[in-house]
Structure 1
């Protein structure tokens, strides 16, 4: 059932986890090394990964005997750590971004956009939100991702390093709050 409230929540949660604005320094560095970013292809590949995982992710969990609530708690812990990374400016998760290659679709689409945190969040969202609303939230994020990828050079000059740092910290705080909510909701569901 369509719910604008759920769509907004899902969109904001995914936007915070994907952190495409916070990834601008990496995108800018890749653009400088290769000359350009294939925005359309990177956005499409990210969308395929996210939508596929939304539908197949739960089946993969069943193969391992894990329920969605347990996965949501695990996802909440990962989201919490990503939020801490953003606020503290420390690296907890090792970056898998590789330099080199022709188009950088793979390092941008996965793991930068549709990485472990994003995929974990998508399956965690299934425990609380309707699938239709999650799909709409994913599509809205793909539009935002495309816009950011296309205008990364312009954004770099407008925001500056200070502006990027402030945005990163704000989204980090939002992620911490989301992680705590997911953790409470799904941990209580088990009792």
Structure 2
């Protein structure tokens, strides 16, 4: 996977367009100037957490003695399930915040931006090619930057696209993610059989 493909994959998993309604709902009772500060703070917290997982993920997998092909197969399955949720979204949004309460770390930074799916994808990337951490860092930075722009201008995107437009865009992103997930799964299967045949 090249840097551009990794950036697209991470952007699709972050799903900023799908998260727009959640962010707007959480921040709607907060003063506009304070709202922008909170959003920037949560984005930076999420970026820090994402980089921590990118650079420590390999150590975790080594400790657990998990093979690369296993991570690829599991990652493909996880991404496929994420894509299905994007294509067929479920109603309901349990945020766990009181009215007017200011969010800190949860639920905006985690799990809306730095969610378990994004963290798993970063671990997968660092495991597959640990010698390309600069590429993965650039991919993460690009995906985060585009997501940040969309979220910082959430009102504009919501007005331009509307509810139906946002839903359509999220489903389109989900369909693209399905293809990436299947390719990742097939790569893992191929690596498994290659590894197994080499041991015989």
Q: TM-score, normalised by structure 1?
A: 0.87
Choose which of 14, 25, 28 in structure 2 pairs with 1:32: 28
Aligned-pair CA distance for 1:128: 5.4
Q: Is the 8 A contact 1:53 1:119 kept in 2?
A: yes
For 1:180 and 1:24, the matched residues in 2 are separated by 27
Partner of 2:6: 10
Q: Is the 8 A contact 1:15 1:141 kept in 2?
A: yes
Give 5+ residue unaligned stretches, structure 2.
194-200
Aligned-pair CA distance for 1:162: 0.8
For 1:106 and 1:68, the matched residues in 2 are separated by 31
For 1:171 and 1:61, the matched residues in 2 are separated by 29
Choose which of 121, 140, 143 in structure 1 pairs with 2:142: 140
The aligned runs of 1:20-59 (5 Å cut-off) are 20-35=16-31, 36=35, 38-59=38-59
Are 2:91 and 1:98 aligned? no
Structure with higher helix content: 2
Partner of 2:176: 174
For 2:125 and 2:70, the matched residues in 1 are separated by 12
For 1:67 and 1:110, the matched residues in 2 are separated by 27
Q: How many residues align?
A: 185
Please tell me the root mean square deviation across aligned C-alpha atoms, in Å: 2.1
Cα displacement string for residues 43-83 of structure 1 (whole angstroms, at most 9, x for unaligned residues): 11111111111111121122222123312221211110010
For 1:41 and 1:107, the matched residues in 2 are separated by 13
For 1:95 and 1:111, the matched residues in 2 are separated by 13
Q: Is the 8 A contact 1:72 1:121 kept in 2?
A: no
Give 5+ residue unaligned stretches, structure 1.
none
Q: TM-score, normalised by structure 2?
A: 0.84
Query: Displaced runs of 4+ in structure 1, greater than 6 A?
Result: none
